[in-house]
């Protein structure tokens, strides 16, 4: 068994060697433009760094090494006009508004690293907001009215342009927050860290499981209460109190790369996990998972 430290380091900091996977031709074009380049099957997207599922439409977005994709259907459809390696990615309280970070690819004029970038058109185009050429935020979330990000230092910003540096010394694999709450969760090799003031101060969650991926539920404008965490071995944990206590639910197969969760119309927790074999969904609180796209 690999030590937990190496598992976490492999997720966020090591260079990953990826196999070349077959591409499936997409049978559509954009009006007035050249034919769209071949789109990969959802299971073949190259190294997913983030996932977002719209609570209203259930549209599945994957932030990947090759840009942003709509993976609601199969094959996935590339959204971005240019290619950006989206190392960090988060949705916001505003529909179709996202923040991201990472490295420019073919067709992008952004500097390397791109710093904090923002899209107001659901990921089609991106503009630089701050720290261009300085920061590659590998972990990124929105908490209340604050952006919380990690680029080797834990930083917070209320406007995306000026940043405060936290005194926290832990290295987060994932940051998870909600625009409707000031609670932020961070996964580390020694357990979950928790902030109740949008990342300004942090406390260790006593007796928390060692989880690698974490998400706070999104609901219709109300503050979330549930959180979901996935351990390096695929064990799924649920927290009913914003990360203070955790209980084991089920098990997910495959190598997980990102997770998100929404509250359904009936109040149930629905979980989506991007894995190396495709997006999986659970509609029973993490007890069982099935493919989200066919």
Residue 194's pLDDT is: 98
Residue 34, domain member (yes or no): no
CA nearest 111: which of 82, 131, 89, 141?
131
Task: Give the whole-angstrom CA distance, residue 232 versus residue 212.
Answer: 6
CA-to-CA dists, residue 84 to 1, 100, 111, angstroms: 34, 10, 11
Going by pLDDT thresholds of 50, 70 and 90, the confidence category of residue 20 is very low
Residue 33, domain member (yes or no): no
Strand, helix or coil at 7?
helix
CATH classification at residue 91 = 2.130.10.10
Task: Give the whole-angstrom CA distance, residue 98 versus residue 133.
Answer: 20
Percentage of the chain beyond pLDDT 70 is 84
CA nearest 198: which of 119, 143, 277, 280?
143
Residue 199 has pLDDT above 50, yes or no: yes
Helices and strands per DSSP (H, E), number in the chain: 1, 24
pTM attached to this predicted model: 0.86
Question: Strands 98-104 and 116-119: what pairing?
Answer: antiparallel
Residue 24, domain member (yes or no): no
Give the number of other CB atoms < 10 A from CB of residue 37.
Answer: 10
What average pLDDT does this structure show over 91-113?
Answer: 94
Domain range spanning residue 85? Answer: 4-12+46-291
Going by pLDDT thresholds of 50, 70 and 90, the confidence category of residue 263 is confident
Going by pLDDT thresholds of 50, 70 and 90, the confidence category of residue 55 is confident
Residue 31, domain member (yes or no): no
What average pLDDT does this structure show over 90-97?
Answer: 94
Residue 39, domain member (yes or no): no
Q: How many domains does the chain have?
A: 1
Residue 164, domain member (yes or no): yes
Task: Give the whole-angstrom CA distance, residue 12 versus residue 58.
Answer: 27
Tell me the two tokens of residue 165. 């540096």
Task: Give the whole-angstrom CA distance, residue 170 versus residue 182.
Answer: 19
Residue 23, domain member (yes or no): no
- Cβ burial 103-114 (10 Å sphere, 16+ → b, else e): bbbeebebeebb
Task: Give the whole-angstrom CA distance, residue 235 versus residue 229.
Answer: 8
Residue 129 has pLDDT above 80, yes or no: yes
Task: Give the whole-angstrom CA distance, residue 185 versus residue 215.
Answer: 8
Residue 25, domain member (yes or no): no
The region of weakest confidence among 169-183, 232-246, 266-280 is 266-280
Residues 183, 192 contacting (CB under 8 angstroms)? no
């Amino acid at each position: 068994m690999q030590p937990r430290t190496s598992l976490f380091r492999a997720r966020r900091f090591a260079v990953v060697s990826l196999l070349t996977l077959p591409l499936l031709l997409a049978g559509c074009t954009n009006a007035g433009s050249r034919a769209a380049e071949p789109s990969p099957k959802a299971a073949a997207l190259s190294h997913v760094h983030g996932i977002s599922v719209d609570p209203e439409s259930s549209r599945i977005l994957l932030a990947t090494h090759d840009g942003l994709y709509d993976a609601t259907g199969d094959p996935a459809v590339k959204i971005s006009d240019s290619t950006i390696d989206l190392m960090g990615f988060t949705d916001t309280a505003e529909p179709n508004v996202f923040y991201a970070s990472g490295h420019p690819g073919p067709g992008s004029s952004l500097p390397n690293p791109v710093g904090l970038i923002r899209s107001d058109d659901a990921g089609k185009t991106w503009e630089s907001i701050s720290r261009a050429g300085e920061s590659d935020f590998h972990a990124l979330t929105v908490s209340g009215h604050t952006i919380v990000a990690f680029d080797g230092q834990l930083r917070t910003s209320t406007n995306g342009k000026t940043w405060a540096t936290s005194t926290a010394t832990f290295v987060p694999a994932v940051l998870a927050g909600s625009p409707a709450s000031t609670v932020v969760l961070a996964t580390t090799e020694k357990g979950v860290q928790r902030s109740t003031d949008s990342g300004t101060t942090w406390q260790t969650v006593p007796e928390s499981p060692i989880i690698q991926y974490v998400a706070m539920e999104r609901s219709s404008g109300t503050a979330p209460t549930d959180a979901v965490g996935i351990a390096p071995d695929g064990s799924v944990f649920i927290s009913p109190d914003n990360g203070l206590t955790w209980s084991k639910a089920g098990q997910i197969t495959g190598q997980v790369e990102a997770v998100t969760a929404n509250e359904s119309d009936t109040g149930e927790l629905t979980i989506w996990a991007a894995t190396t074999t495709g997006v999986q969904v659970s509609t029973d609180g993490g007890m069982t998972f099935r493919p989200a796209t066919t």
